[in-house]
Structure 1
């Protein structure tokens, strides 16, 4: 069974929580986060679209929660806590097992893109509201660049997990 496709619906098993799994999570999260940032901060603006500043959303959320919200805290939360840990764990231990249990085994591309879409709804629809920002950032250009970025994140995350599994 592939780590990236996670649990078996027959056994309900989850991937082992060991050093290999953690390493795969961090490596896949690293590449996915870099793809997201490359898209949002370099490619998108070069094409004339909005420039993403995801650490700004993290800073707003931290401030709304009464926590330190400087630049370091925003970058730390966005890249490390969310990109390297939170989103990869969400895929491996929540979304992928649910997908397999409900839909069954499929190619990884569709569920990874749907997962990225869900991340976009969570971040731009939910976290923005908690942070006191407009719902879906008023559907401005940054909203759509973030949609592409989150879907790209999901696809790269699972693609890297798949590649590592083949080695």
Structure 2
């Protein structure tokens, strides 16, 4: 389903969604539903199936401590939810989807979302967990590493599906 030209603005070679109430609402809905799916999978379903339990808030709290000099659990919650509700859905809507549409216009959104989920995983477990918080890269490739991969891809699928469903 393609957007009409009036629903997008050209920024260089990319066609981005226009800044509108609908775009902002899509971002919030996509981020909310995707964050619930991520947390449900990583903190309930995965441990129930005998796999690792994701702990995004403690990791975000570690990052907060490195960035601001003190461990502050509310700051970790804030970072987790701002990433899930705003940053990651915006990354899909303003970067991943437009780039995928430009580079490979015939590529199904599901494939592009899978690649975006892997990039989110690299960002979370290499950049944030390793470079910022000082943990081993990809948390040492333990069980949590692979649950985090599935969780981030699931996040991207859900956020992208909401975005696609809400396109005019």
Q: Which of 140, 143, 148 is the aligned partner of 2:142? A: 140
Residue 152 of structure 1 and its aligned partner are, at CA, apart by 0.2
1:73-132 per-residue CA deviation (whole Å, 9 max, x = no partner) reads 1111101x1001000111111111111221124221100111001100111111112111
- Kept in 2: contact 1:9–1:100 (CA 8 A): no
The structure in which a higher percent of residues are strand is 2
Secondary structure of residue in 1 paired with 2:135: coil
1:123-144 per-residue CA deviation (whole Å, 9 max, x = no partner) reads 1111112111111100111111
- Return closer, same or farther for 1:69/1:10 CA change in 2, 3 Å cut-off: closer
Q: How does 1:100-111 map to 2 (within 5 A)?
A: 100-111=101-112
Residue 66 of structure 1 and its aligned partner are, at CA, apart by 2.2
Q: Which structure would you say has the larger RCO, counting Cα contacts within 8 Å and 6 or more residues apart?
A: 1
What is the TM-score normalised by the length of structure 2?
0.89
Gaps of 5+ in 2: none
- Return closer, same or farther for 1:17/1:67 CA change in 2, 3 Å cut-off: farther
Secondary structure of residue in 2 paired with 1:104: coil
Give the total of aligned pairs.
163
Equivalent residue number for residue 24 of structure 1: 26
Equivalent residue number for residue 123 of structure 1: 124
What is the TM-score normalised by the length of structure 1?
0.89
Secondary structure of residue in 2 paired with 1:106: coil
CA distance in 2, matches of 1:150, 1:73: 21
Gaps of 5+ in 1: none
- Kept in 2: contact 1:58–1:75 (CA 8 A): yes
- Return closer, same or farther for 1:135/1:16 CA change in 2, 3 Å cut-off: same
Equivalent residue number for residue 96 of structure 2: 95
1:38-92 per-residue CA deviation (whole Å, 9 max, x = no partner) reads 000000000000111101111111111125532211111101x100100011111
RMSD: 2.1
